[in-house]
Amino acid sequence: MASSEKPGLLISFGGNALNVAEAPPSHQKEEFAVARKSLQGVIALLKAGYGTLALCHGNGPQVGQIFLQQELTRHDFPRQITLDVCVADSQGRIGYILQNTLDNLCREQGMNKRALAVITQVLVDADDPAFKKPTKPIGLFYSKAEADALVRDRGWVMMEDAGRGYRRVVASPAPREIIEIDGFREILSKGIILIGGGGGGVPVVRTEDGGLSGVEAVIDKDFTSALIARELKLDWLVILTGVDRVYRNFNSGDAVPIDHATADEMELLLAAGEFAEGSMKPKVAAAIQFLRAGGKRAVIAHLNDLVAAVQGKVGTHIVLE
């Protein structure tokens, strides 16, 4: 679904696109400043003629902050917020910041372009085996000693995350359906920048009467991004993260960068256990899913390299064959 000769893009931002390192939660102005920096590439693409853009974002740090706030106030406010509502909270917070910032940037550049953030529900299977094996990292990074204490004191499941520390992991079922997908199509048809699927979407299951009910899980936003891009028939899936590209033997002395690859080549590396669970593995798997369903190109690159990545100068570029 491209409005010009330029490909339609779904750009999937990691949760750190808005995260203010070591800042108190009250520093909202700093979050807007970080968003403004992260979105400069989107503005550059709009100016270059990329008219069909959808954005998805992670929420790991923000959900971690919500959980931390609950822990610190549990004696004053004993009612705990369920994980699906935490995801919705983060969608509203991040969606507002991205929407407001994009609108202001477009106005400043004299562009007649607006953004619209949508609270997004994503259907999952109640019998998904992920509910029995938590793997999705959320929240802040902890040292080994801190992680051991959290396991002992709070019963959390903790996992080492690509050499960066330990994080809490929760169930991460596969996304099956985007409940608001028809609204997404309407938004893009009007030339509006879509912001949807934040944090992987609010996980819901079908009830016996056909309704929807939230569940305790966090869906990987890269798989949700791939599903949205497929459903909207967008051409490219661009996954922005904290590293400049995909590597073989990552976090070792002989790491080998992967600049270009086919889906088959990446699938072989995936099957060989080359990529870390909860880190690069879902990004590569999502890219392969997108391409096998008709996508033209998947790109994995650093958050600050969006324009150069779309131009083919940096990042890992994966095509079907």
Q: Distance between CA 231 and CA 234 in Å, rounded? A: 8
- Residue 113 known to be catalytic: no
By CB neighbour count within 10 A (0-12 exposed, 13-18 middle, 19+ buried), where does 70 fall?
A: middle
Q: Distance between CA 207 and CA 227 in Å, rounded? A: 22
Residues contacting residue 91 through CB under 8 Å, at least 6 positions apart: 59, 117, 119, 120, 198, 199, 202
Q: Distance between CA 122 and CA 224 in Å, rounded? A: 8
3-state SS, residue 32: helix
Q: At what angle do helices 221-231 and 181-189 cross, to 10 degrees?
A: 60
DSSP for 230-299 reads HHTT-SEEEEEESSSSEEETTTSTT-EEE-EEEHHHHHHHHHTT-S-TTTHHHHHHHHHHHHHTT-SEEE
Residue 248's DSSP bridge partners are 256
- Residue 296 known to be catalytic: no
- Residue 283 known to be catalytic: yes
* Catalytic residue selected from 8, 14, 15, 58: 15
* Catalytic residue selected from 51, 283, 295, 315: 283
Q: Distance between CA 226 and CA 202 in Å, rounded? A: 16
Residues contacting residue 288 through CB under 8 Å, at least 6 positions apart: 263, 266, 267, 270, 298, 318
Q: In sequence order, which ranges of 133-191 are alpha helices (DSSP H)?
A: 144-154, 181-189
* Catalytic residue selected from 221, 278, 281, 315: 221
- Residue 201 known to be catalytic: no
**What element of type H or E holds 85?**
helix 83-108
- Residue 190 known to be catalytic: no
Token digits of residue 69: 């706030």
* Catalytic residue selected from 59, 136, 198, 281: 136
Give the residue numbers marked as catalytic.
Answer: 15-16, 136, 221, 283
